[in-house]
Amino acid sequence: MNRSELLRHLIAAFVGLLATLLPVALVSAAPQTVYFPSADGRTALVGYVFQPAGPGPWPAIVMLHGRGGPYSSNDNAGCTYVGVAFASPCNAGSLSRRHMMWGEYWSARGFLALLPDSFGPRGKAHGFGRFTHDDPDRADVNEISVRPLDADGALAYLRGLHEIIASQIYLQGWSNGGSTALNVMIRQENQQGSQQGHQAGYRGALVFYPGCGESALLAPALFVSAPIAMFLGSDDEEVSPIICQHVAERSRRDGTPIDVTIYAGATHDFDDPSARRQSAPGNQAAMDDALVKAIALVNGWKK
């Protein structure tokens, strides 16, 4: 073993030892569990809040999970929903690595992040597997007419908190949640265009590898005034980045401020921090860049 290899081993051993000696207070705590109504008027939603340190008020971001649901795939198959709460194992401590990573990322940068669960309260906590777009069991949690109302409920909930800057609430969605986010922005523009003195809605949306086909979106193009940023993988095996590019091009022609980033060699779920997903060529670079770009975009939208 040469000197540089020995040094790397010593550093790794020291870091590992240090981690075991850190006080519990420094370990990431599970997010707070909250409850609020969907705008559908009948569904009580459960959500998970990642709160920044220090006093507010804070800007906020609502995170919309994908078709797999908000929980780790190791746990969600055994979820049991009782009343307005989950029985073990699905809870704030069993969120997926991606949702935990992003929630902690936003809170560390001064944003309160809220992750609503659209599936559990409707008896779908198990989520859905890959290539299940035509599964009829997904109809009552669809991204066109159901999940946008959950995003509306989350927005109303956050506006009611005095710690939140009501004019600085943003949206982030992945896959099915990304399609939901696009539909939220379409609906929001339509509603605000027909109202006088309306409150500000979502200030912008970060949309990761959404489905952009005719069955996923309310319109073939977005005509909205709030900024939108799409993050796509060129090697996405579940949805078509080309279709999303075409939607973005049509939307820009209609005046929508929409930015598209396509990561060469990146797959679906490229920002999932698990070792399995990050072993795919292109995903690590895509995730690293998306993290940097996301905060820069939102901070720019705040101005």
Please write the tens of the pLDDT for every residue from 156-190: 999 999 999 999 999 999 999 999 999 999 999 98
pLDDT of residue 21 exceeding 70, the answer is: no
Please report the pLDDT score of residue 93 as a whole number: 87
Element (H, E) at 207: strand 205-208
Residue from 196, 139, 172, 193 nearest 66 by CA: 172
Looking at residues 84-88, what average pLDDT do you find?
Answer: 50
pLDDT of residue 11 exceeding 50, the answer is: no
Looking at residues 96-122, what average pLDDT do you find?
Answer: 96
Helix boundaries (H) for 197-265:
241-253
Question: The tokens of 181 are what?
Answer: 């986010």
- Whole-model pTM: value is 0.86
Please report the pLDDT score of residue 207 as a whole number: 98
pLDDT of residue 241 exceeding 70, the answer is: yes
Question: Is beta strand 80-82 parallel, antiparallel or unpaired with respect to 228-233?
Answer: unpaired
pLDDT of residue 25 exceeding 70, the answer is: no
Please report the pLDDT score of residue 72 as a whole number: 85
Task: Give me the amino acid identity at 132.
Answer: T
Please report the pLDDT score of residue 294 as a whole number: 98
Question: What is the crossing angle of helices 176-193 and 147-159, to 10°?
Answer: 70
Which residues pair with residue 259 across a beta bridge?
Answer: 229
Q: What is the rounded CA–CA span in Å between residue 180 and residue 116?
A: 13
Looking at residues 149-155, what average pLDDT do you find?
Answer: 98
Question: The tokens of 252 are what?
Answer: 């820009």
Q: What is the rounded CA–CA span in Å between residue 74 and residue 83?
A: 23
Looking at residues 18-45, what average pLDDT do you find?
Answer: 69
Per-chain mean pLDDT for the chain:
86
Q: Give the contacts of 96 (CB within 8 A, at least 6 positions apart).
A: 65, 68, 70, 71, 72, 73, 272
pLDDT of residue 243 exceeding 60, the answer is: yes
Please report the pLDDT score of residue 48 as a whole number: 97
Q: What is the rounded CA–CA span in Å between residue 89 and residue 185?
A: 33
Whether 103 and 88 have beta carbons less than 8 Å apart is answered as: no
Q: How confident is the model at residue 124 (pLDDT cuts 50, 70, 90)?
A: confident
Q: Give the contacts of 86 (CB within 8 A, at least 6 positions apart).
A: 46, 79, 80, 120, 125
Question: The tokens of 93 are what?
Answer: 């401590």
Q: What is the rounded CA–CA span in Å between residue 192 and residue 189?
A: 5
Please report the pLDDT score of residue 123 as a whole number: 86
E runs forming strands in 84-149: 85-87, 112-117
What's the CA angle centered on 262, arms 185 and 128, to 5 degrees? 60
Question: Is beta strand 112-117 parallel, antiparallel or unpaired with respect to 44-50?
Answer: antiparallel
pLDDT of residue 32 exceeding 80, the answer is: yes
Total count of residues recorded for the chain: 303
Q: What is the DSSP letter of 210?
A: -
pLDDT of residue 18 exceeding 70, the answer is: no
